[in-house]
């Protein structure tokens, strides 16, 4: 989920919530709001409000592939991160290959890594049950991620998700996006995961997805009341390719 800090009030994303019409009866295929078509690209600004750091993330889809590291076929995606902090931008980029696949009614993803020029499974397994194949208003589900797992070392993060099909309009640097759906998530690393004995470390997230575009905004908070914002991800530019491989229409695109 995301990270951030701001530039000017005029740049802060706005979320308008018009009255929802028959949202409860909506059944939306996940690909309508999370397209993973070959060569599609997204460019995000990621702001860490706690450390006052800004990153840029570029996401590109490389199409359906068989991935030996996880012994399955899926949709290959690569994310690239650049730091734009006090000394940035830094030349060095971090690359993270990912494979998405469908299983048991969910879109799942596994995080991979590069070692000696080969793609291997990362020590953190990824996000199983990332999104339901069918998005419906009020749908909720649990998922777990084992982060930095090596043998018996590492920790498990538990997530609780809920879908809100409220047809919101979200304004971010890439533009204004109508009919967005929101996925609300809370995460915990379990008892004694906080900063003091017996404290449980919890975070709260909201992700907004636009039809035919994908993720346009993520916000993260330290508290359930959403008063202490920790991070934010905003869509800057994007280029969505239809299945045939040609641009659907003119949109701001990511520079190679």
67-106 confidence digits (pLDDT tens): 887 788 999 999 888 876 555 555 456 788 889 999 999 9
Reported pTM: 0.78
From 3.80.10, 2.60.120, 1.10.472, 2.40.360, which CATH number describes the 16-239 domain? 2.40.360
Confidence (pLDDT) at 58: 94
Q: If we measure between CA atoms, which residue out of 47, 65, 68 comes closest to residue 56? A: 47
Confidence (pLDDT) at 195: 60
Least confident of 60-64, 124-128, 132-136, 194-198: 194-198
Mean pLDDT, to the nearest integer, of 43-61? 91
Tokens describing residue 229 = 């914002």
For residue 5, pLDDT beyond 60: no
Q: How many CB atoms lie within 10 A of CB 227?
A: 8
Alpha-carbon span 24 to 135, nearest angstrom:
11
Domain ranges of the chain: 16-239
Confidence (pLDDT) at 216: 97
């Amino acid at each position: 989920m995301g990270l951030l800090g701001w530039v000017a009030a005029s740049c802060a994303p706005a979320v308008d919530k018009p009255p929802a019409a028959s949202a409860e009866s909506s059944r939306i295929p996940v690909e309508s709001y999370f397209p993973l078509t070959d060569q599609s690209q997204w460019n995000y600004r990621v702001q860490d409000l706690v450390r006052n750091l800004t990153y840029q993330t570029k996401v590109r889809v490389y199409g359906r592939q068989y991935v030996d590291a996880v012994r399955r076929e899926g949709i290959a995606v690569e994310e690239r991160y650049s730091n734009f902090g006090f000394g940035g931008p830094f030349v060095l980029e971090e690359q993270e290959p990912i494979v998405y696949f469908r299983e048991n009614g969910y879109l799942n993803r596994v995080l991979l890594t590069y070692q000696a020029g080969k793609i291997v499974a990362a020590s953190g397994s990824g996000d199983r049950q990332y999104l339901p194949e069918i998005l419906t208003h009020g749908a909720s589900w649990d998922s777990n991620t084992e982060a930095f797992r090596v043998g018996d070392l590492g920790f498990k993060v538990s997530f609780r998700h809920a879908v809100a099909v409220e047809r919101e309009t979200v304004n971010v640097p890439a533009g204004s996006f109508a009919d967005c759906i929101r996925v609300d998530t809370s995460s915990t690393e379990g008892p004694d995961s906080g900063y003091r004995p017996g404290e449980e470390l919890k975070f709260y997230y909201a992700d907004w997805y636009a039809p035919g575009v994908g993720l346009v905004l993520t916000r993260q908070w330290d508290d359930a009341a959403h008063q202490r914002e920790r991070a934010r991800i905003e869509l800057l530019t994007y280029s969505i390719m239809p299945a045939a491989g040609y641009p659907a229409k003119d949109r701001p695109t990511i520079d190679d």
